[in-house]
Chain A
Amino acid sequence: MAVAAEPIELAATTPRPFTVVERRRETEDTWTLELEPVDGPPLESLPGQFTMLYAFGVGEVPISISTCGDRLVHTVRAVGAVTDAICAAEPGTVLGVRGPFGNAWPLEEAVGRDLLIVAGGIGLAPLHGALVHALENRRDYREVALLYGARTPADLLYRAELVGLGSRHDLQLDVTVDAADWQWHGKVGVVPKLVAAARFDPDTAIALVVGPEIMMRFTIEALLARGIATERIYLSMERNMRCGVGHCGHCQLGPTLICRDGPVYSAAGIAALMEVREL
């Protein structure tokens, strides 16, 4: 994947048509779609960014980019009318894509340091691009660790890929589930608990965290307990989004517009805002 310094924004208000070329079921309610543009060049984006994905006649939702190269890959959870329609899109269906929008994971800042990627549930999707980038440029980083968990083994994303990752000697991989099924012989426990056993230098490591807000809060606590400063912990925030371009006022979180200043924020920058209820 080419990582451009300034990604070209190809569609701001009007969607670009993209065709679904592959559709894979990840879990009971999550699908991965691979998209190619109907015409024109492929989308260029940086890990951490998102697009506004449109299902014809139904509506549009912000979805983080899972990977981006010749194909635009999105992992989507079906939680409403629009995502239902997107997840049901068989190969050949045309979806609308606006973007990419937002800022990126601080992978430049992490060069020469330990990189910790901590994901809960579908939170692995927005971090997937960062993981791929780190593994493709492995020598830029010291330790690379993926700490990942989901509710049950059936809820783990990218299971085939995880198996492959498990055999890499240059990646610390630790996977856990909240509740086991009858076949699971791995760790059972919450994701924040994995932080204690990960190998990294707390004085310099960079941590990227995505998951349900409660899980992120506990993970930040666990990272702080290991000595990583809040300036080096990064999160991806979520709010209601409509325009994606900073004009509609929906995605405000206090002084910041998540579509424009985020969705990636350092915990130092955002912690105070996360503490105010109903902000």
Chain B
Amino acid sequence: MDARTPLVLDPAALEALVDVLRRRGHRVLGPRVESGAIVYGDLESAAELPVGVRDVQEPARYRLEPRGDDARFGYANGPHSWKQFLFPARVRLWSARRNGDVEFSDELEAPAPLALLGVRPCELHAIEIQDRVFLGGRYTDRDYESRRTGAFLVAVECSSPAATCFCTSLGTGPGGGEGADLVLTEILEDGHRFLARAGTDAGAAVLEELPSRPATDDDLAAAAAVVEHAAGEIRRRLDPTDLRGLLQRATESPRWDDVASRCLTCANCTLVCPTCFCSSVEDTTDLAGRTAERARTWATCFAVDHSYIHGGAIRPSARSRYRQWLTHKFGTWNDQFGVSGCVGCGRCIAWCPAAIDVTEELAALRAEEEAVQ
């Protein structure tokens, strides 16, 4: 049987999936409920998945509530994204020893290869965007490359989007899976099951080890219906037409003062965003000055010192920092990397304590421009 043909898995097969991946040496990461949110962490068993849980999200609001069923992936997303594993918050770049001579050593950490279980289509796009940043330029980030190359991705299409999702406006969801090793679609109607498609040879090999049956036309139709229904549920919209040009022209818009009066520059948005990649370096040394180390750490353009050069910060005001973030995400990211930086996951909207909604801000900028014309 050609393992590229779609198969159907029982919910129980997920346990076998976790098992197979672990036996192959992967560190399996997936969604779980912790502290009232769906977060990504180590999965020892499929029983740890957020069974029967749904997220309710609005600007500045995130709550979990019971669904009344056994859906394993019946939610949208949480404050975590996969970047914390591919692009960890702190990574040692090199260490050095001084003993007359100075020696630098930069061996990579080489941790166990990862298996990401439950990657949303929007998150797949986000990973691809970070691939461009770290692997697509003249220089390659060796650490990112090592974590990314061995990673096994199990995508799960969305069935239950949140009110904060706007992937449909950007073409990043709720269905999809290109680039993943395995793509699953959870079907609840007429028997709880998963449509499973292999996206790569590695995915096909794993699928072969799982108990399954071939998918029927009914299964395929049911899976398509799940995604179609999810797309219909997405109400939040963003007009993506020439956002780059719009933001380029809007540098002096009064809207920036408006949002600055609300923005706390707390950097929550950059922390939860799956594509934000700004980093800094931390140089440390021991007291004797004999050993030194450099680590790469997450940074945020909302910090005042992010733009500091001798004399002062280039962007001291909240206004200029919010403008920098929004303009970069939706505009200049295109100039720098050839794609938009946003995948429409809506995390920044839910996790902003000031309830700032990027879709609303961009709509306001567009309306302002159109009013003048």
Chains A, B in direct contact (C-beta < 8 Å):
yes
The docked-state distance in angstroms from the alpha carbon of A249 to that of B96 is 25
Q: Mark A175-212 against chain B: 1 for CB-CB distance below 8 A, else 0.
A: 00000000000000000000000000000000000000
Interface membership of B299, Cβ < 8 A: yes
Q: Mark B299-343 against chain A: 1 for CB-CB distance below 8 A, else 0.
A: 101000011111000111101100010011001100110000000
Interface membership of B169, Cβ < 8 A: no
Q: Mark B101-114 against chain A: 1 for CB-CB distance below 8 A, else 0.
A: 11110100000000
Within 8 A of A (CB), among B223-241: none
Check if A250 sits within 8 Å of B299, measured CB to CB.
yes
Size of the chain A interface, CB-CB below 8 angstroms = 39
Interface membership of B261, Cβ < 8 A: no
Interface membership of A59, Cβ < 8 A: yes
Complex contacts, B320 vs chain A, CB 8 Å? 277-279
- The distance from the CB of A15 to the nearest CB of chain B, in whole angstroms, is 6
Check if A14 sits within 8 Å of B335, measured CB to CB.
no
Interface membership of B216, Cβ < 8 A: no
Check if B332 sits within 8 Å of A96, measured CB to CB.
no
- The distance from the CB of B279 to the nearest CB of chain A, in whole angstroms, is 5
- The distance from the CB of B213 to the nearest CB of chain A, in whole angstroms, is 46
Complex contacts, A278 vs chain B, CB 8 Å? 314-317, 319-320
Contact of A14 among B93, B289, B310, B314 (CB under 8 A): B93
Within 8 A of B (CB), among A128-157: none
Check if A57 sits within 8 Å of B138, measured CB to CB.
no
Check if A17 sits within 8 Å of B280, measured CB to CB.
no
Interface membership of B5, Cβ < 8 A: no
- The distance from the CB of B175 to the nearest CB of chain A, in whole angstroms, is 31
Check if B94 sits within 8 Å of A94, measured CB to CB.
no
The docked-state distance in angstroms from the alpha carbon of A260 to that of B315 is 21
Closest residue on chain A to residue B270 by CB atoms = A249
Check if B306 sits within 8 Å of A245, measured CB to CB.
no
Consensus secondary structure, chain A interface? loop
Complex contacts, B284 vs chain A, CB 8 Å? 57
Check if B281 sits within 8 Å of A94, measured CB to CB.
no
Interface membership of B205, Cβ < 8 A: no
Contact of B281 among A16, A60, A277 (CB under 8 A): A60
Q: Mark A50-76 against chain B: 1 for CB-CB distance below 8 A, else 0.
A: 000010111110000000000000000
Given known contacts A13-B142, A79-B310, A80-B310, is B279 in contact with A249 (CB within 8 Å)?
yes
Given known contacts A17-B104, A58-B283, is B307 in contact with A245 (CB within 8 Å)?
no
Check if B289 sits within 8 Å of A57, measured CB to CB.
yes
Interface membership of B356, Cβ < 8 A: no
Contact of B306 among A38, A54, A250, A260 (CB under 8 A): A250
Closest residue on chain B to residue A57 by CB atoms = B285
The docked-state distance in angstroms from the alpha carbon of A54 to that of B138 is 22
Q: List 7 A-B contacts (CB under 8 A).
A: A15-B96, A94-B101, A240-B306, A248-B280, A249-B328, A255-B335, A260-B137
Q: Known contacts A38-B101, A239-B309; can you find 9 more A-B pairs with CB under 8 A?
A: A15-B94, A15-B104, A57-B289, A245-B138, A248-B279, A249-B328, A254-B327, A255-B332, A255-B335
A residues in contact (CB < 8 Å) with B: 9, 12-17, 38, 54, 56-60, 79-80, 94, 96, 238-240, 242-243, 245-250, 252, 254-257, 260, 276-279
Interchain residue pairs A-B with the least CB separation, the first 8: A57-B285, A255-B335, A278-B320, A249-B278, A245-B139, A94-B102, A255-B332, A14-B106
